């Protein structure tokens, strides 16, 4: 996988009652450089209370990473239970979501619930992927930088953190 184009930046966007929201331009630009498909794959984050997302082509990289981790765990005498849970989370508990010409998606209800997304979505680039947070959940994160980012983006909108 060519990871020449990485997700860098952040944005806070509104989510309407039907789950519609705009994917920020910094994310759409990377997706469109990596793939012809105007779509994002969204799933639950492995450890944090947010969503993780990426372009369709990134799945090949994830498969290689899952296999690499399986081999390491196997060498260390681990069981395959963690491997299968990781594979299900990565490929089974995800939604492929196309966006329209204006960059709008409809966040699927299951993903919205998993990410605790309400009326705002904080997009955070993390290199090969990006995260989608409820900014109020991000304010409670153990990551000081993420807390500061969420507070800044909320204040920028005139919303008290």
Short-list 20, 47, 39, CA closest to 117: 20
**Is pLDDT at 9 greater than 50 in this prediction?**
yes
Residue 160 to residue 158: CA distance in whole angstroms: 7
Residue 5 to residue 142: CA distance in whole angstroms: 28
**Is pLDDT at 2 greater than 60 in this prediction?**
no
136/72: higher pLDDT: 136
pTM here is 0.89
Structural domain spans, the chain: 10-156
Q: Residues of 101-121 as b/e, b for ≥16 C-beta within 10 angstroms?
A: eebebbbeeebbebbebeebb
**Is pLDDT at 88 greater than 60 in this prediction?**
yes
CATH superfamily of 10-156: Transcriptional regulator MraZ domain (3.40.1550.20)
- Segment 46-74, tens digit of pLDDT: 899 999 999 988 888 888 888 888 888 88
Short-list 132, 90, 141, 135, CA closest to 114: 132
- pLDDT, average across residues 126-147: 96
Q: How confident is the model at residue 80 (pLDDT cuts 50, 70, 90)?
A: confident
Q: How confident is the model at residue 110 (pLDDT cuts 50, 70, 90)?
A: very high
The predicted structure's pLDDT at residue 36: 86
Mean pLDDT of the chain: 91
Residue 113 to residue 86: CA distance in whole angstroms: 20
């Amino acid at each position: 996988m060519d990871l020449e184009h990485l997700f860098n930046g952040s944005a806070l966007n509104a989510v309407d009652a039907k789950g519609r929201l705009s994917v920020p331009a910094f994310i759409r630009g990377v997706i469109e450089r990596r793939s012809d498909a105007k779509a994002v794959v969204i799933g639950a984050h492995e450890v944090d209370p947010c969503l993780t997302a990426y372009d369709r082509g990134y799945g090949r990289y994830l498969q290689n990473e899952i296999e690499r981790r399986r081999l390491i765990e196997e060498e260390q005498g681990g069981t395959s239970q963690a491997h299968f849970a990781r594979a299900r989370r990565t490929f089974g508990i995800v939604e492929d979501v196309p966006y329209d010409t204006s960059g709008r998606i409809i966040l699927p209800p299951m993903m919205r619930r998993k990410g605790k997304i309400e009326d705002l979505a904080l997009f955070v680039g993390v290199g090969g992927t990006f995260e989608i947070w409820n900014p109020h959940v991000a304010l409670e994160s153990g990551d000081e930088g993420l807390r500061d980012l969420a507070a800044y983006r909320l204040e920028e909108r005139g919303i008290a953190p």
